[in-house]
Amino acid sequence: MDKPLTTKGQATRERIVRAAADLMFTHGVAGTSTPAIRDAAGVSSSQIYHYFADKEALTRAVIADQTRAIVGAQAEMLGRLDSFAALRAWRDVVVQTQRDLHCVGGCPLGSLSSELADHDLDARVALVDSFSKWSGAIRDGLQSMIDRGVLRSDADPDRLSVAMLAALQGGLLLVQAQRDTAPLEVALDTMIERIEQHAVTQRLRRGSADSA
């Protein structure tokens, strides 16, 4: 299992992880059996155990896969933040994603955390890292706004990014319960309004441009 995988082996492993991720998102980890993963991935049980020592190892691979899918997609957009319009565009993408899912399922990482954090230490550690990467992507976006002179230097991107992620996760939980994106929209809009309190005024921007 420590040897580099062949192209075919990597494809098989990825197929197993994606099948497991889809099933765990729908049924939870406890409600997802190895035979169900085997059938969904179109592989044998021996192939699953060739790539993963046990279900716990496969679950950690699912966490890593969901992190790449969610954080990777958002990090690209967050890394280009240069205005509040761009920040709201990111907000719109997050909200539209929930609409496209018909407000079902909530956040894959949030759901895994709710189910695993209290009794699976390895999974909890992996999830802590996932959420750290997510808040880090938001932080990098806010830092980019500071560097571009959109936000004042007294803005604290570390605290603001954690608060934004907390608002996002809480909003996603309420979306799942209420089948309505309104709570998520309110949570994100409120945080954006909070961030706007650190905006550099147009007068100061013009002054900086004139001095340059």
Q: Which residue has the tokens 């990090």?
A: 75
Is residue 62 in a domain? no
CB atoms within 10 A of CB 88: 13
Give me the CATH number covering residue 125: 1.10.357.10
* Backbone Cα Rg of the chain: 20
Is residue 2 in a domain? yes
Is 134 found in the same domain as 78?
yes
Q: How confident is the model at residue 202 (pLDDT cuts 50, 70, 90)?
A: low
Q: How confident is the model at residue 203 (pLDDT cuts 50, 70, 90)?
A: very low
Is 21 found in the same domain as 83?
no
pLDDT one-digit tens code per residue, 93-102: 999 999 999 9
CB atoms within 10 A of CB 75: 18
Q: Which domain holds residue 81?
A: 67-205
The pTM score is: 0.87
| Total tally of structural domains belonging to the chain | 2
Angle made by CA atoms 64, 69, 73, in degrees to the nearest 5: 135
Hey, is 37 helix, strand or coil?
helix
Give me the CATH number covering residue 38: 1.10.10.60
Is residue 212 in a domain? no
Is 130 found in the same domain as 45?
no
